[in-house]
């Protein structure tokens, strides 16, 4: 039978035109289900992650440190746990690489109490602007070449692959009767590209980001 439920959240994806400004995604959500016997099950989930076209280590450190500071206000164990969860979740298995350089990700969080978890989620949500906007301001006027734009389009192809093949939210939405397909697919970039068996030259800036996507780094120590 059907069970009464409540679901709410906020989700945003930004795909900048400039390949030197990274894509950023965040989502924070709350679910509540009333069981047949009247008991209520609830949990929070969410995260914030960064997907650069080109690696800028200073930006990566800033992004992760800001998220770590938000987590550390509540428990020092949270950032390393949710950073690893993010690296593991946004993994494109058929490519052997991550979608981006990660951030934090968690799901089914229902302890120690609803108010304490809610305060943690609010801290994470409030960290979105300070972790990302300084990076946008730093690079939004950077010049770029047609070759750099092409690499951005190829990386966005990987973004599409992850979201359509592996992302739980996309799968859940597409399987929900009467859902708005356009809303479910809002996370996809407007344009993307695929090149057959494309491999960037060794020691190139393109190869540099691939190395990090294949072998996630600890950005805060």
Does the annotation mark 25 as catalytic? Answer: yes
Distance of alpha carbon 186 from alpha carbon 11, whole angstroms: 10
Tokens 């987590």, residue?
71
Non-local (6+) Cβ contacts of 75 within 8 A are none
Distance of alpha carbon 2 from alpha carbon 34, whole angstroms: 10
**Which ranges of 38-144 would DSSP assign to H, the alpha helix?**
57-72, 78-89, 114-126, 128-139
> What's the chain's length in residues?
221
Tokens 């058929």, residue?
94
The answer to whether the CB of 133 falls within 8 A of the CB of 140 is no
Residues forming beta bridges with residue 47, ordered by sequence position: 27, 105
Is the dihedral angle over the CA atoms 190, 14, 96, 45 positive or is it negative? negative
The answer to whether the CB of 1 falls within 8 A of the CB of 176 is no
Residues forming beta bridges with residue 28, ordered by sequence position: 10, 46
Which pair of tokens denotes residue 142? Answer: 């950077």
Tokens 């809002």, residue?
186
Q: Which of 25, 62, 64, 139 is catalytic?
A: 25
Residues that are catalytic: 25
């Amino acid at each position: 039978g059907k069970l009464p439920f409540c679901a709410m959240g906020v989700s945003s994806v930004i795909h900048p035109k400039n390949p030197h400004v990274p894509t950023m995604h965040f989502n924070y959500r709350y679910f509540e289900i009333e069981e047949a016997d009247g008991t209520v099950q609830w949990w929070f989930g969410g995260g914030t992650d960064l997907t650069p076209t080109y690696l800028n280590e200073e930006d990566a450190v800033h992004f992760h440190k800001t998220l770590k500071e938000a987590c550390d206000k509540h428990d020092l164990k949270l950032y390393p746990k949710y950073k690893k969860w993010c690296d593991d979740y946004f993994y494109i298995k058929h490519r052997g690489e991550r979608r981006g350089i990660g951030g934090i990700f968690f799901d089914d969080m229902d302890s120690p109490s609803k108010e304490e978890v809610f305060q943690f989620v609010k801290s994470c949500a409030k960290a979105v602007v300070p972790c990302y906007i300084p990076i946008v301001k730093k690079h939004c006027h950077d010049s770029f070449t047609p070759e750099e734009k092409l690499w951005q389009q190829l990386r966005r192809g990987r973004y599409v692959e992850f979201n359509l093949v592996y992302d739980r939210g996309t799968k859940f939405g597409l399987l929900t009767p009467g859902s708005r397909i356009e809303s479910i697919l809002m996370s996809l970039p407007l344009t993307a590209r695929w090149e057959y068996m494309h491999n960037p030259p060794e020691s190139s800036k393109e190869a540099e980001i691939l190395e990090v996507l294949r072998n996630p780094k600890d950005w805060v120590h």
